[in-house]
């Protein structure tokens, strides 16, 4: 069984996220998502619309996702790859090169982002609509 690992906040889930998860799952048989915890988002200066538990519940409903683990810090990735026996590490290509340090442990793949959609854009749009 080929295991694929990816990470993200997955806030305000949209078709770009689904597209990424679908393409990640196609690289193997079992997709593991490291979901940023609320505490880790604070460290990254990110404010999620939904809590970790709510984002986890949403991702659990996605047919491409087999397992969700919490992402608590930047440094857990090597340990996760080893402990979870990940064969492939996947991230969006806006992170290209940032995770090459994992290449001794697994294959590293950077997938193209879906154009014209992002959580940030969606949240900005909703904020503008609500304040109008």
Q: Is 103 a catalytic residue?
A: no
Pick the catalytic residue: 2, 22, 25, 44? 44
Q: Is 44 a catalytic residue?
A: yes
- Burial level of 127, CB count in 10 A (0-12/13-18/19+)? exposed
φ and ψ of 96, to 5 deg: -50, 130
28 to each of 23, 25, 46, 90, how far by Cα in Å? Answer: 9, 6, 30, 11
User: Which residues are marked as active site?
Assistant: 44, 46
């Amino acid at each position: 069984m080929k295991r694929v690992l990816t990470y993200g906040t997955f806030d305000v889930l949209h078709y770009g996220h689904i597209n990424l998860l679908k393409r990640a799952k196609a690289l193997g048989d079992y997709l593991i998502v490291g979901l940023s915890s609320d505490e880790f988002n604070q460290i990254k200066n990110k404010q999620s619309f939904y809590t970790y538990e709510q984002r986890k519940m949403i991702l659990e409903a996605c047919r491409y996702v087999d397992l969700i683990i919490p992402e608590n810090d930047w440094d857990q990735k090597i340990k996760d790859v080893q402990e979870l026996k990940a064969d492939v590490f996947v991230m969006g290509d806006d992170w290209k090169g940032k995770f090459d340090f994992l290449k001794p442990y697994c294959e590293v793949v950077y997938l193209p982002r879906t154009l014209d959609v992002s959580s940030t854009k969606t949240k900005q749009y909703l904020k503008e609509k609500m304040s109008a």
